[in-house]
Amino acid sequence: MHFGDMVFRFHLLWLFIFCSAFYLSSARNGELPSFSLSVTQFLGKLEFWNAKGFELGSSFCALFASVRVPPFVMRISCGAREDVHTPKTNTLWYKDFAYTGGVPTNATRTSYITPPLKSLRYFPLSEGPENCYNINNVPKGHYSVRVFFGLVAQPNFDNEPLFDISVEGTQTCSLQSGWSNQDDQAFAEALVFLQDHTASICFHSTGHGDPAILSIEILQVDDMAYYSGSMWSQGTILRTAKRLSCGTGQSKFDVDYNGDHWGGDRFWKSIPTFGQNSDTPRSTESSIKQASISPNFYPEALYQSALISTSTQPDLTYAMDVEPNRNYSIWLHFAEIISSITDVGQRVFDILINGNVAFKDVDIIKMTGDRYTALVLNTTVVINGRTLTIMLHPKEGSLATINAIEVFEVIAAESKTSLEEVTALQTLKKALGLPLRLGWNGDPCVPQQHPWSGADCQFNSTGNKWVIDGLGLDNQGLRGFLPDDISRLHHLKSINLSGNNIHGVIPSSLGTIASLEKLDLSYNFFNGSIPESLGQLTSLLILNLNGNSLWGRVPAALGGRLLHRASFNFTDNEGLCGIPGLRTCGPHLSTGAKIGIALGALVSLLIIVICSLCWWKRRQNIIRVQQLAAREAPYAKARTHLSRDIQMTRHNNHGHSRTAAENGPSLLS
């Protein structure tokens, strides 16, 4: 062995040790899932260094380790008090009992493919229409997020709820009635990029029963998994619409096929025929080349069975229902497993999707270079109608064949709401004691189908973010106070908090929301005075502060505005003054003037006290002198007269400032 070679191997060993250690530690981080209900909470908990470390590590190891290391896996058994291990694969499901949203209860599984878990969590409408699991410490990456539904195991319970599911603010599934009777609808699955080390999975009530969730799986897949060409990006979400294994008897998961863990443990529904007698199933035991390769790691067994058209019906046709006017990504799998087909040109067919040729002259052997070798073709199409039809039309040689079909709905990931505004709304939620029924979980503006009630959203295409431009929380039974943080909703045009029980002062920070046009705080318990800062709101057209406990002068800047088109109402308050229609205020005094007046009053009081003291003392002395005089009669009277005379004289002499009382003691000493 070369010395250079040895050095190289030595380095490789270190790299391997580093990467193993790194991935082990990242796996351990994932071991204790933490859940929280609110966005602020999970952002607060985000472990910064942990996250940074992962980024460094993953970029360092990406080349070396993308295949060798196990993918990040988190499985949650909803409503479980203990972690659960399920047969046959001894799969670990974490309990979620620390999570406080919803109600844990016993579950009924809807299908044999549903994991054998005994509990679920359901979300009564009284807890609000939006409920979320926010899972922390999820490494940045590409994930298959799968949610299994359950039915509450109680007689007379409103079974088969219909609701919507969103992942990271994008709606990925809307349950269709009848789902509980079909195996491949027992779960919802989507391929999503998770960018911020968290996974936010929300369930949205649609008024058809309480969402009931059996399990949540977050399974890492290859970063390039299901790469479909230049339109594909990290903003692409693929919702699994159909995944079929053609010709086999039993539906299977990747794990049942001993598939690679990087495949995301897909469920393959078996389809023995596309229609009556239109095809025949075929299978082989021979091993298949090029099956379990990056980026999708398909199970080899997928290519060991196939459907082949018949000579009476040479076209092989599969049709399924779809949502109209959506884009679908279609993945078709082939391998030549029929021993009579040995060479190029012996089986050539076109593939048509809804009548349009998607692939022309498909010759499996020509394209793979060999028999028993996997061929994957993908294409993305817009479907206008409600049906997707895939037709294989033989051109040359033998009949058409296919091994597996995958159909995904392509969904563009939603832009989220500006983080600063989400944080401000969370503060508001707490400070105002927002009732549970309003929810306010997940993202305020997305999915667009389910915005928070009471928050009006507007999309800012420059910032590529949603912002809040209106708060309509009138008559919602709010109590508590209005926090300063409301001013962090910079884009508000209108605020209506009328008819609640909000106490405390009007935050002066409201004056910084320059875009504010309507401010209705009427019929609350606001006290204190109207902040001067409201005068800065030059766009303000409607200001209703009537029916509160406000007092003091209405800011002059607001009073002046009344001449323009503005409509202000200040009636029914404790003591507002200073504009026409309200009582007149006392003289307007600045803080300095007020301090001056207070000081003046204090000095006067002091002087009065001292004067009274002196006067009293002098009286005491006079009385004493009189008593003395009375004892020394007959001079007494004269002395008294004398003293009074002198007193008067002195008073006349120094008349201007001194008082008699001041001279008293000197006179008598």
Ligand X SMILES: *[C@@H]1O[C@H](CO)[C@@H](O)[C@H](O)[C@H]1NC(C)=O
Q: How far is the CB of 46 from ligand X (least distance, A)?
A: 23
**CA dihedral sign, ordered 37, 39, 44, 49:** positive
Q: How far is the CB of 310 from ligand X (least distance, A)?
A: 30
SS3 383: strand
Q: How far is the CB of 420 from ligand X (least distance, A)?
A: 11
CA atoms in the 13 A half-sphere facing the CB of 55? 8
Q: Which two tokens stand for residue 590?
A: 């600045």
The residues near 598 (Cβ < 8 Å, ≥ 6 apart) are: none
- Determine if 541 is a binding residue for ligand X (CB under 6 A): no
**Which of 314, 477, 507, 528 is the binder for ligand X (CB under 6 A)?**
528
- Determine if 571 is a binding residue for ligand X (CB under 6 A): yes
Q: How far is the CB of 261 from ligand X (least distance, A)?
A: 18
**Which of 228, 270, 278, 283 is the binder for ligand X (CB under 6 A)?**
228
Q: How far is the CB of 554 from ligand X (least distance, A)?
A: 14
- Determine if 547 is a binding residue for ligand X (CB under 6 A): yes
180 vs 524, which CB is nearer to ligand X? 524
**Which of 286, 460, 539, 659 is the binder for ligand X (CB under 6 A)?**
460
Angle between helices 636-653 and 660-668 in degrees, nearest 10: 130
The closest residue (CB) to ligand X is 463
523 DSSP 8-state letter: S
551 in Cβ contact with 570 (< 8 Å)? no
- Determine if 663 is a binding residue for ligand X (CB under 6 A): no
**Which of 159, 569, 643, 647 is the binder for ligand X (CB under 6 A)?**
569
Q: Which of 343, 346, 377, 349 is nearest to 362 (CA)?
A: 349
496 vs 663, which CB is nearer to ligand X? 496
- Determine if 462 is a binding residue for ligand X (CB under 6 A): yes
Q: Which two tokens stand for residue 509?
A: 């920070």
Q: How far is the CB of 229 from ligand X (least distance, A)?
A: 4
- Determine if 520 is a binding residue for ligand X (CB under 6 A): yes
The residues near 434 (Cβ < 8 Å, ≥ 6 apart) are: 428, 440, 473, 476, 478
From the DSSP assignment, how many helices (H) and strands (E) are in the chain? 9, 38
44 vs 324, which CB is nearer to ligand X? 324
Stretch binding ligand X (CB under 6 A), from 120-128, 285-293, 312-320, 491-499: 491-499
**Which of 256, 456, 474, 662 is the binder for ligand X (CB under 6 A)?**
474
149 vs 226, which CB is nearer to ligand X? 226
- Determine if 546 is a binding residue for ligand X (CB under 6 A): yes
Size of the site for ligand X (CB under 6 A): 35
255 DSSP 8-state letter: G
Q: What gap in Å lies between CA 235 and CA 224, rounded to an integer? A: 13
- The mark string for 273-302 relative to ligand X (x by CB under 6 A, - otherwise) is ----------------------x-------
| Amino acid letter, residue 186 | A
Q: Which two tokens stand for residue 418?
A: 């500006």
110 vs 496, which CB is nearer to ligand X? 496
- The mark string for 208-227 relative to ligand X (x by CB under 6 A, - otherwise) is -------------------x
133 vs 570, which CB is nearer to ligand X? 570
- Determine if 382 is a binding residue for ligand X (CB under 6 A): yes
Q: Which two tokens stand for residue 357?
A: 């040729």
Q: What gap in Å lies between CA 173 and CA 203, rounded to an integer? A: 10
Q: What gap in Å lies between CA 413 and CA 193, rounded to an integer? A: 9
542 vs 660, which CB is nearer to ligand X? 542
Q: How far is the CB of 170 from ligand X (least distance, A)?
A: 12
Q: Kindly tell me the burial class for residue 76, based on how many C-beta atoms sit within 10 Å of its own C-beta (0-12, 13-18, 19 or more).
A: buried
DSSP labels, 471-508: EE-TTS--EEE--GGGGG-TT--EEE--SSEEEEEPPG
| Amino acid letter, residue 245 | S
4 vs 155, which CB is nearer to ligand X? 155
**Which of 176, 195, 475, 620 is the binder for ligand X (CB under 6 A)?**
475
41 vs 290, which CB is nearer to ligand X? 290
**Which of 144, 200, 292, 378 is the binder for ligand X (CB under 6 A)?**
378
77 vs 498, which CB is nearer to ligand X? 498
533 DSSP 8-state letter: G
Place of tokens 């290519």: 303
- Determine if 437 is a binding residue for ligand X (CB under 6 A): no
Query: Own/partner pairs for 152-161, CB < 8 Å, 24+ apart?
Result: 152/105, 152/106, 152/107, 152/108, 152/120, 152/122, 152/210, 152/212, 153/105, 153/106, 153/107, 153/108, 154/105, 154/106, 158/209, 158/210, 159/209, 160/209, 161/122, 161/208, 161/209, 161/210, 161/211, 161/212
Q: How far is the CB of 522 from ligand X (least distance, A)?
A: 7
Element holding 206 (H helix, E strand): strand 199-208
**Which of 111, 327, 453, 508 is the binder for ligand X (CB under 6 A)?**
327
**Which of 183, 223, 484, 572 is the binder for ligand X (CB under 6 A)?**
572
25 vs 569, which CB is nearer to ligand X? 569
Q: How far is the CB of 21 from ligand X (least distance, A)?
A: 31
Q: How far is the CB of 525 from ligand X (least distance, A)?
A: 7
Q: How far is the CB of 306 from ligand X (least distance, A)?
A: 19
Q: Which two tokens stand for residue 565?
A: 């088109």
> Which runs of consecutive H residues, i.e. helices, occur in 494-590?
556-561
Stretch binding ligand X (CB under 6 A), from 8-16, 128-136, 299-307, 541-549: 541-549
172 in Cβ contact with 192 (< 8 Å)? yes
Binding site for ligand X (CB under 6 A): 105-106, 227-229, 231, 295, 325-327, 376, 378, 382, 460, 462-463, 474-475, 491, 496, 498-499, 503-505, 518, 520, 527-528, 542, 546-547, 569, 571-572
